[in-house]
């Protein structure tokens, strides 16, 4: 469970010049960040990570885990240890009622699905928790996504085991399946205002994931790992095991189009196809930025990359505008994120390898850092914090 914020490991003491000073308050040692490269031109702010045991499903915890803020030298600014076998994910700054807040999801066995039942936290600039969000209607929330909207709602991912007939794809007639669902929840009241389920909308024949070797083991056929708002207010849903991004009508739940996978509504230009992706985000008119893993578990391409795709809704084409990968050609078998900074840089969390990097607008690596062996971070970000930081 979350430790009381009065007992966090590091506390912000205030601005001194343009930097924040921190003071150790307990003997717990946060995961140390090693800066491998840094140069001029970095974006403003601090780095937001949530170290946990590395690997798909999260390996054994190598030490303290939890949401953590560090500066560009790797110095810890703030850390809150998560205990009782839980981990944190998606730690970042978002906006709630027009004010910047800290948010993260927290659960046990992240990525293993069986540990689903996460709690999402919202904390203000004083690190006081002002709201929590959980899935409604008796469903088990998962920590892959916790996205606040301008309407004061939160979008969350859900995994639940349901029976299904898998005989058309070589399984049994009454097999357990992990269904991928999402909910939009009013933060203030906890009321579910929108709910969507994959079964009956996303076919089992769309999956690239193999059937389990046991008829009693649930099949994770879709594996929803991200939700984003499109620029028209509808939803973008990333499904890792179908290698597809689905655009959903936010009111009816109808699938407006599929991008990628076996039933793509778009034809891909050279280099534009992606595999086992994470974190699709609108990056301009009819433009989507994607963390393209390209491995799961066998490599499709030699390295993971960040790609920008231009969609032509009329011609139904997807064109590669830009592609970015690490000079060391990092391959991320799981997790990952990419963020556009105010200065035009791109900040990348490489997921399972435990690395995070920053690239200038020309694609040059200007910052690179790593967590200790045995740790990774589902996503990584850079934000100005606290809200009045210049």
CB 208 within 8 A of CB 220: no
pLDDT of residue 22: 39
Q: Is the pLDDT of residue 6 over 70?
A: no
Confidence of residue 215 (pLDDT cuts 50, 70, 90): confident
Q: List, for residues 324-335, the tens digit of each pLDDT value.
A: 999 999 999 999
CA torsion through residues 18, 16, 101, 146, sign: positive
CA distances from 14 to 11, 17, 45, 126, 185 (A): 9, 10, 14, 11, 34
Q: What is the mean pLDDT of residues 103-122?
A: 81
CB 247 within 8 A of CB 288: no
Domains with residue ranges and CATH for the chain: 5-383 (2.120.10.30)
Report the distance separating Cα 66 and Cα 132, nearest Å.
17
Report the distance separating Cα 300 and Cα 349, nearest Å.
20
Q: What is the mean pLDDT of residues 209-234?
A: 96
Of 179, 50, 196, 62, the residue nearest 120 (C-alpha) = 50
The pTM of the full predicted model, rounded to 2 decimals, is: 0.93
Confidence of residue 109 (pLDDT cuts 50, 70, 90): confident
Q: Is the pLDDT of residue 285 over 90?
A: yes
pLDDT of residue 136: 96
Considering the chain, what is the average pLDDT of its residues? Answer: 91
Q: List, for residues 314-359, the tens digit of each pLDDT value.
A: 999 999 999 999 999 999 999 999 999 999 999 999 999 999 999 9
Share of the chain above pLDDT 70, in %: 90
Cα 224 to chain centroid distance, Å, stands at: 10
């Amino acid at each position: 469970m979350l430790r009381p914020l009065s007992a966090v490991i590091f506390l912000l003491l205030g601005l001194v010049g343009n930097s924040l000073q921190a003071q150790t308050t307990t003997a717990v040692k946060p995961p140390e960040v090693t800066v491998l490269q840094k140069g001029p031109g970095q974006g403003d702010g601090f780095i937001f990570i949530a170290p946990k045991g590395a690997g798909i499903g999260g390996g054994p915890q190598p030490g303290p885990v939890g949401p953590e803020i560090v500066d560009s030298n790797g110095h810890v600014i703030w850390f809150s240890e998560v205990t009782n076998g839980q981990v944190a994910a998606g730690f970042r700054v978002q906006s709630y009622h027009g004010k910047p807040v800290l948010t993260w999801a927290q659960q046990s066995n992240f990525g293993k699905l069986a540990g689903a039942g996460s709690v999402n936290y919202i904390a203000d600039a004083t690190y006081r928790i002002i709201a929590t969000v959980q899935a409604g209607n008796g469903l088990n929330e998962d920590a892959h996504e916790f996205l606040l909207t301008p309407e004061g709602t939160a979008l969350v991912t859900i995994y639940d085991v349901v029976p299904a007939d898998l005989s058309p794809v070589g399984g049994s007639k009454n097999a357990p399946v992990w269904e991928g669902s999402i909910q939009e929840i009013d933060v203030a009241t906890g009321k579910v205002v929108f709910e969507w389920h994959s079964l009956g909308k996303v076919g089992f024949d769309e999956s690239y994931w193999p059937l389990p070797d046991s008829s009693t083991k649930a099949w994770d056929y879709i594996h929803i790992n991200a939700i984003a708002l499109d620029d028209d207010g509808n939803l973008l849903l990333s499904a890792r095991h179908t290698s597809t991004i689905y655009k959903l009508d936010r009111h009816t739940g109808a699938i407006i189009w599929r991008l990628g996978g076996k039933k793509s509504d778009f034809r891909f230009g050279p280099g534009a196809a992606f595999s086992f992706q994470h974190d699709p985000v609108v990056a301009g008119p009819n433009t989507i930025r994607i963390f393209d893993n390209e491995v799961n578990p066998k490599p499709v391409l030699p390295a993971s990359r960040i790609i920008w795709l231009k969609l032509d809704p009329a011609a139904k084409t997807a064109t590669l505008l830009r592609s970015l990968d690490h000079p060391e050609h990092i391959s991320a078998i799981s997790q990952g994120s990419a963020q556009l900074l105010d200065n035009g840089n791109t900040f990348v969390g490489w997921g399972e390898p435990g690395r995070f990097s920053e690239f200038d607008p020309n694609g040059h690596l200007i910052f690179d850092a790593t967590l200790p062996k045995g740790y990774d971070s589902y996503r990584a970000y850079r934000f100005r914090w606290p809200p009045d930081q210049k």
